[in-house]
Amino acid sequence: MPNKTIGAFTIEVDDEGFMLDHTQWNRDIATAIAQQEGIATLTDRHLLVVDFMRKEFIEKGTGPSIRRLTKESGVETKELYALFPGGPAKKAAKIAGIKKPAGCI
């Protein structure tokens, strides 16, 4: 599996750039990945989503569906798409350092 140097960090990622080991993750890595994904700064709202995704992933082994994410994080669908333009579930998962979401919803 490829290693990727991002900022001052070297992380293991899959072919699409999702981190393989979420324990390597930290906020600075999140910021660096976000910048590569075209999100200049991570606001509190971004971090609310990212933290919720990490919590779900660590508890359940898979990231939440968008429906669960919006219902339980308090970030509504419209805002979610505005925060992570061009594919919220994938982008947020990548920034959160978790695997690519497996669900269809």
Partner 1 sequence: MSNEPIKRVSIIVSRGSLDGVYPGLIMANGARMEGIEAMLFFTFFGLGALHKKLQNDLKVATVGNAAMNMAMPLLGMPITMPFPTWMGGIPGVSAFASSVMKKKMEKLDIPPVGEFVTMIHDAGGEIYACKAAMDMFDLKKDDLVPEVDSILTVGDFYAKSAGAQIIFT
Catalytically active residues, by annotation = 104
CB 105 to partner 1: min, Å: 6
List interacting residues with partner 1 (CB under 8 A): 65-68, 70, 76-78, 81, 85-90, 103-105
99 DSSP β-pair partners = none
CB 16 to partner 1: min, Å: 12
By beta-carbon proximity to partner 1, the closer residue of 5 and 86 is 86
By beta-carbon proximity to partner 1, the closer residue of 28 and 76 is 76
Q: Which two tokens stand for residue 75?
A: 């970030």
